[in-house]
């Protein structure tokens, strides 16, 4: 963590505030490395299985602080926001993780629209772009649905994202079976929670009585 903090200081000092078409490559490389360290130290909730708070609360806190600082040095970076959502989930801050999910979805939606416009106008793309792949977007949407279902109990919102994710997977012609498996699992848990939450109270009472 000391080496990581030193690297961040170098990146922040040398970095400049980016404009729309300016990519701060060094900061994006830094956040990738920071998240890899975070996972290696047992902070990923998908690996630690509930041991995150016991194993590395300090590591999670420092990583999150670094990611927040990175948002000020990048222009609407989906990569930084995706990492931030995962790290916030890892430290148990599900409210902020949900907000990061909302920001991430807005960013990638705007990027998709911008890419469609530039392709139609034959505008040359920048040499390097901070753009998430379709697979990364679907993975992040699935992780967000898990947060909404497991920790926030927001069935309606989870279902809305699941429906959008299903449309995306079809329109993007995703064929990777492992990605599709994650997508359909997330769709399933979103539908399951909303099916329970959308039943009127009197129907629930009748079911319980019978």
Residue 189 has a CB neighbour count (10 Å cut-off) of 19
Same domain, 89 and 6: yes
Predicted confidence at residue 48, as pLDDT, reads 44
- Residue 37, judged by CB atoms within 10 A of its CB (0-12, 13-18, 19+), counts as middle
Same domain, 72 and 151: no
Predicted confidence at residue 157, as pLDDT, reads 98
Same domain, 93 and 185: no
User: Residue 193's domain spans which residues?
Assistant: 139-210
* 119 part of a folded domain: no
Same domain, 75 and 165: no
Same domain, 3 and 99: yes
* 124 part of a folded domain: no
Same domain, 78 and 167: no
Same domain, 178 and 100: no
* 132 part of a folded domain: no
For residues 84 and 88, give the distance between their C-alpha atoms in angstroms, rounded to a whole number.
6
Instruction: Report how many domains make up the chain.
Output: 2
> What DSSP designation does 20 have?
T
| Beta-carbon contacts of residue 25 (< 8 Å; ≥ 6 apart) | 128
pLDDT tens digits in sequence order for the chain, 210 residues long: 444 454 455 445 445 555 444 557 788 888 999 898 888 876 665 654 443 444 456 777 888 988 998 888 888 899 999 999 999 998 899 999 999 999 999 999 999 998 888 877 766 655 446 889 999 999 999 999 999 999 999 999 999 999 999 999 999 999 999 999 999 999 999 999 999 998 875 555 555 555
Give 103-145 as a DSSP string: HHHHHHHHHHHHHHHHHHTTPPPPSS-----HHHHHHHHHHHH
Domain with 75 in it: what CATH number? 1.25.40
Predicted confidence at residue 160, as pLDDT, reads 98
Tally of residues, the chain: 210
What is the model's pTM? 0.81
* 103 part of a folded domain: yes
Percent of the chain as helix, strand, coil, to the nearest 5: 75, 0, 25
* 190 part of a folded domain: yes
Cα–Cα separations (whole angstroms), residue 64 to 69, 84, 128, 205: 9, 6, 25, 44
For residues 3 and 11, give the distance between their C-alpha atoms in angstroms, rounded to a whole number.
12
Predicted confidence at residue 99, as pLDDT, reads 97
Same domain, 153 and 192: yes
* 123 part of a folded domain: no
| Beta-carbon contacts of residue 85 (< 8 Å; ≥ 6 apart) | 97, 100, 101, 104, 140, 143, 144, 147
- Sign of the four-CA dihedral 168, 28, 100, 149: positive
> What DSSP designation does 169 have?
H
CB 4 within 8 A of CB 34: yes
Same domain, 41 and 99: yes
* 57 part of a folded domain: yes
């Amino acid at each position: 963590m000391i080496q990581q903090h030193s690297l961040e200081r170098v990146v922040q000092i040398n970095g400049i505030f980016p404009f729309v078409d300016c990519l701060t490559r060094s900061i994006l490389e830094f956040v990738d490395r920071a998240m890899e360290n975070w996972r290696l130290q047992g902070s990923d909730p998908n690996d630690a299985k509930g041991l995150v708070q016991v194993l590395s609360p300090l590591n999670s806190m420092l990583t999150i602080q670094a990611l927040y600082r990175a948002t000020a040095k990048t222009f609407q970076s989906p990569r930084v926001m995706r990492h931030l959502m995962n790290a916030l989930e890892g430290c148990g801050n599900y409210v902020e993780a949900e907000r990061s999910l909302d920001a991430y979805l807005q960013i990638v939606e705007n990027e998709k629209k911008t890419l469609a416009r530039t392709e139609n106008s034959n505008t040359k793309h920048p040499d390097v772009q901070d753009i998430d792949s379709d697979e990364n977007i679907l993975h992040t949407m699935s992780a967000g649905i898990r947060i909404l279902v497991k920790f926030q109990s927001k069935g309606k919102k989870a279902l809305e994202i699941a429906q959008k994710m299903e449309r995306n997977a079809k329109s993007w012609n995703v064929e990777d079976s492992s990605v599709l498996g994650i997508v359909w699992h997330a769709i399933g848990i979103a539908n399951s929670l909303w099916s329970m939450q959308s039943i009127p109270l009197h129907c629930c009472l009748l079911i319980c009585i019978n």
